[in-house]
Chain A
């Protein structure tokens, strides 16, 4: 009696759920086209159901696939999410879902050995971890759904592999490094890939150098985007220097080394200070040297100061002469006072700074000797006062003294 009642209930239930419809009859290997159904959010958890249009005769369809990151690099791991919808009017029982490796793409897990029922008008997401190998190109791992009656779904899912890294070029770098001097190096980092890169950072690497800043964080570099990183590098004598470009493609960290060859020497664009037009005079044991200084280089010279060499004893009023800034092709006059014991060319010391504040010192010799003196002309700074002025001062002192004394006599 009890078993009869159960049998009746089972038959009734089968009649109600069947409602005249039959289970899917798709042959093996039949591929359904991907439809553009709304809300194919890759973040949807499995078994989240969004109402979709249904009609009799339709069955399971792959409605969207999503790969994160969108394009894999060799060795990258990615997450492939496949959304399947039941566009029919009857529920479908899925016994197993599998993703088969193809070409350069391997599938790292198989989490859907049992699936369950996907109701009519519902969707289900299947997430797989895939790994890219070589060569680059497009691989088509096959996504299969197995239903108990042997009819299922087989869909090749395209996965793109492109190992092209960011493009790096030096926008600015010195033609030659000088040990102990800082030079500006500017890198341009471009993203020629068809997907964005994250966490992009450039850091100097090597030994025997100081860098400012120690690293430059660029962050996200969009598709076809470009960013710059500037460094002030001060290498020592035997420095090895390069850069590491670190970036993330999805969750995959990549490091791209960038070599920077160091050639030591004097920069071709440096400031080049030349002295000329020397005139040397001697008054009362003090020499007065005048001349011109010209910047024949291609860079500015800052805080230019000229002083007599160590062999000379500086004297007032111009023991040193401050020129200031000298732009390329610019010149300025200078004047120095000093005492010298012996004859010979006058040694001079020129000190200046570059735009980075690094100090330079050059030794030069005036192409005139201390015994080649000329007699002075009119009054000019640093020159002894002309006799006429001294006489005038004495006359004034005498006259004023006389008038003061006279005013007290009467």
Chain B
């Protein structure tokens, strides 16, 4: 077994995961990546949720509470997504007669969150710049709130922030392909299909939501 640095994960994921095959499964490092991603996403969610309290006069003073609820929800969601992605990849790879246990695949999928953490950081900076300059109107009508929120999503800064998130998701998916290939002992083609289908569906959904 040869030691490989964590940078190898970004530059040459194939070698990185092949080197891990010789080691026992460890969730420590993957969990660290996932938690860092979850924390950054939580901060972003805190910002967004706080806007709601500014918008509705009756929720004035509840900004920290709403922000906290939003941050906690985002944190739990990222942790769940780790398990959900792994489960989806595990189930799809069963079609291709994939071998390898769920724990090892969970570990490899967790490594894939490393680019996600970087992407979340960049998105946080972009959305911070956007939200800090935002003029929040005082609205009580739900229809007007929905209208205002839709107009926010069409703002170029918000769209750039979403595009950056998708870019890093592509990078993550690339790493997951090699992780699934190694962890479930699949051919490269099968690994691309296993990871590509759910990832492309998610990207398509995000783009449609952004454009509509």
Mostly, the B contact residues are: helix
Question: Do residues B135 and A381 form an inter-chain contact, with CB atoms below 8 A?
Answer: yes
Question: Do residues B171 and A403 form an inter-chain contact, with CB atoms below 8 A?
Answer: yes
Question: Do residues A381 and B174 form an inter-chain contact, with CB atoms below 8 A?
Answer: no
> B210 an interface residue at 8 Å Cβ cutoff?
no
Which residues of the other chain, A, contact B144 by a CB distance below 8 angstroms?
Answer: 303, 322, 324
Question: Do residues A400 and B140 form an inter-chain contact, with CB atoms below 8 A?
Answer: no
Question: Do residues A407 and B130 form an inter-chain contact, with CB atoms below 8 A?
Answer: no
Band of interface residues on A: 20 to 34
Stretch of B36-44, B95-103, B157-165 on the interface side: B157-165
Q: How far is the CB of A287 from chain B (nearest CB, A)?
A: 16
Q: How far is the CB of B48 from chain A (nearest CB, A)?
A: 14
Question: Do residues A406 and B12 form an inter-chain contact, with CB atoms below 8 A?
Answer: yes
B: number of interface residues (CB 8 Å): 39
Stretch of B27-35, B146-154, B201-209 on the interface side: B146-154
Question: Do residues A393 and B160 form an inter-chain contact, with CB atoms below 8 A?
Answer: yes
Among candidates B15, B126, B154, B168, residue contacting A400 with C-beta atoms closer than 8 Å: B168
> A248 an interface residue at 8 Å Cβ cutoff?
no
A397 to B119, CA, bound (A): 11
> A281 an interface residue at 8 Å Cβ cutoff?
no
> B11 an interface residue at 8 Å Cβ cutoff?
yes
* CB within 8 Å for A317 and B138 given contacts A381-B157, A403-B10, A410-B12: no
Question: Do residues B157 and A404 form an inter-chain contact, with CB atoms below 8 A?
Answer: no
> B134 an interface residue at 8 Å Cβ cutoff?
yes
Contacting B at CB under 8 A, from A379-410, are: 379-385, 389-390, 392-393, 396-397, 400, 403-404, 406-407, 410
Among candidates A318, A380, A400, residue contacting B151 with C-beta atoms closer than 8 Å: A318
Which residue of B has the minimal Cβ distance to A319? Answer: B151
Which residues of the other chain, A, contact B170 by a CB distance below 8 angstroms?
Answer: 400, 404
Interface residues of B (CB under 8 A from A): 10-15, 57, 115, 122, 126, 129-130, 133-135, 137-141, 144, 147-148, 151-152, 154-157, 160, 163-164, 167-168, 170-171, 174-175, 178
Closest 7 pairs between A and B when the two form their complex, measured CB to CB: A380-B133, A324-B139, A324-B138, A385-B156, A317-B155, A317-B154, A400-B171
Told that A325-B138, A400-B171 touch, could you supply 10 new A-B pairs with CB distance under 8 A? Answer: A303-B144, A316-B154, A322-B148, A323-B138, A324-B139, A385-B157, A400-B170, A404-B170, A407-B11, A410-B15
Interface residues of A (CB under 8 A from B): 303, 316-319, 321-325, 332-335, 378-385, 389-390, 392-393, 396-397, 400, 403-404, 406-407, 410
